[in-house]
Amino acid sequence: MAGSRNWQPTAEAFALPLLSLAGALVLFGIFVALGGRDPVAVWRLLFVGAFGDAFSWQNTLQRSAPLMLTALCVALPARAGLVIIGGEGALVLGGLAMAGLPYLFTPPAGWIGTLLLLAGAAAAGACWIALAGWLRVWRGVNETISSLLLAYIAIAVFKQLVEGPLRDPASLNKPSTLPLAESLRIGSIGSYDVHWGLVWGICLCVAAAFWLGFSVHGFATRVAGGNPRAARLMGLPTGRLVVTACALGGACAGLAGGIEVAAVHTNANAALIAGFGYTGILVSFVARHQPLAVIPVAILFGGFGAAGSLLQRRLGLPDAAVQVLLGFAFVLILASESLRGRLFTLPAPLRRRTSIAAVAGAR
């Protein structure tokens, strides 16, 4: 009996997020219909804008690259038992490090210099998120609140430096840093309009999956996250594992910022603060904090982001329309957790009630 039900958890892992997303699309349709727009046209544009042709695919993949990395910033600490939502701060600091380090020293031209700067970006992000993890371990400070506070502080530091000491005098009404040297930038893959950041994102998701699934350190981290008491009884250094997972996640988000600067913006300016850190939270929750599942989910949500600008141009919807869709999706995804393990047995209480009634009737 139990053996025949083994397919159910797997089927639920796919069905629950898909049902929630469908529900979010329906709610979003009702929402835009209340605003006097045709929901069918909105759904169609969402799909066309995300996956309709080669151009929208390129736009989608371009946006999904940083989402994969910021989602890892949520997923890796989550596997160690922490809910970190300050990925935006790590991303912004990573971008700042990428654009700011060349002020301090002249990096060697070519890919060695790029790698050096990316390492700096990753280190900046790692320190920031590790700080939230360390405060949790050291003082028991709630990491969800502290990481978001740290994100606001990081954004303030970013704006202060970009509009102050690091400002390029030539950038008049859009304060930004000096542009990155041509040889240090990250180019696109072949003739496609998609930069190499996508490859970084996919590779790091795969690497994270291997680390969690096949390494002793990753296993210990999962034990520390799943049952801290058991982990301590086994003598695992839970504090160090937690801070390390946070640092790894932060490094990914910092890298996302560095790649955005080197591949898209070419300098650090306020356009970098585009909410990738917040969408990454949603991506990670939909992927249930599984690094491999992050890849397709990030592409899906990158698609929604890409479609957002089309909705804005064609139907005159505000740019926050996609945020509403994401909000609906997030709440439904979390609520769907209550159906886990019961999706295929929902009619069971009804069956039981009828059989009890039958017994009572026979008596």
Partner 1 sequence: MSAQAWLDVLIAVIGGAVRVGTPFLFVSLGECLTEKAGRINLGLEGVLVLSAMSGFGAAWLSDSVWIGVLCAGLAGAALALVHGVACSLPRVNDVAVGIGIMLLGTGLAFHLGKPLMEPQAPQIPSLALGGWSNSAAVQAALRINVLFPLGVALAALLQWGFANTRWGLLVRMVGDSADAARALGTSVNGVRIAATVAGGFIAGLGGASLSLYYPGSWNEGLSSGQGLIAVALVIFARWSPLRCLAAALLFGGAGAIGPALQSVGVGGAYYLFNALPYALTLLILVLSCSPTRSARGAPLELGVSR
For binding to partner 1 (CB under 8 A), which residues are involved?
83, 85, 135, 137-142, 144-146, 148-150, 152-153, 156-157, 159-160, 163, 278, 281-282, 285, 317-321, 323-328, 330-331, 333-335, 337-338, 340
Q: Which residues of 134-154 are buried (b: 16+ CB within 10 A; e: fewer)?
A: bbbbeeeeebeebbbebbeeb
Q: CB 183 → partner 1: shortest distance, Å?
A: 32
Distance separating alpha carbons of residues 71 and 84, to the nearest angstrom: 10
Distance separating alpha carbons of residues 58 and 192, to the nearest angstrom: 7
Pick the closer one to partner 1 by CB: 204 or 333.
333
Using alpha carbons, select from 215, 222, 250 the residue that is nearest to residue 236.
222
Structure tokens, 134: 């360390």
Long-range (24+ apart) CB contacts under 8 A made by 139-147 are: 143/77, 143/82, 143/83, 143/84, 143/246, 144/83, 144/84, 144/85, 146/86, 147/84, 147/85, 147/86, 147/89
Q: CB 192 → partner 1: shortest distance, Å?
A: 31
Distance separating alpha carbons of residues 355 and 245, to the nearest angstrom: 51
Pick the closer one to partner 1 by CB: 14 or 138.
138
Q: Where are the beta strands (DSSP E) in the chain?
A: none
Pick the closer one to partner 1 by CB: 296 or 327.
327
Pick the closer one to partner 1 by CB: 107 or 225.
225
Pick the closer one to partner 1 by CB: 1 or 34.
34
Structure tokens, 6: 């083994």
Q: CB 140 → partner 1: shortest distance, Å?
A: 4
Distance separating alpha carbons of residues 292 and 211, to the nearest angstrom: 12
Q: CB 150 → partner 1: shortest distance, Å?
A: 7
Report whether 66 contacts 91 (CB < 8 A).
yes
Pick the closer one to partner 1 by CB: 33 or 320.
320
Q: CB 351 → partner 1: shortest distance, Å?
A: 20
Distance separating alpha carbons of residues 252 and 245, to the nearest angstrom: 11
Pick the closer one to partner 1 by CB: 148 or 178.
148
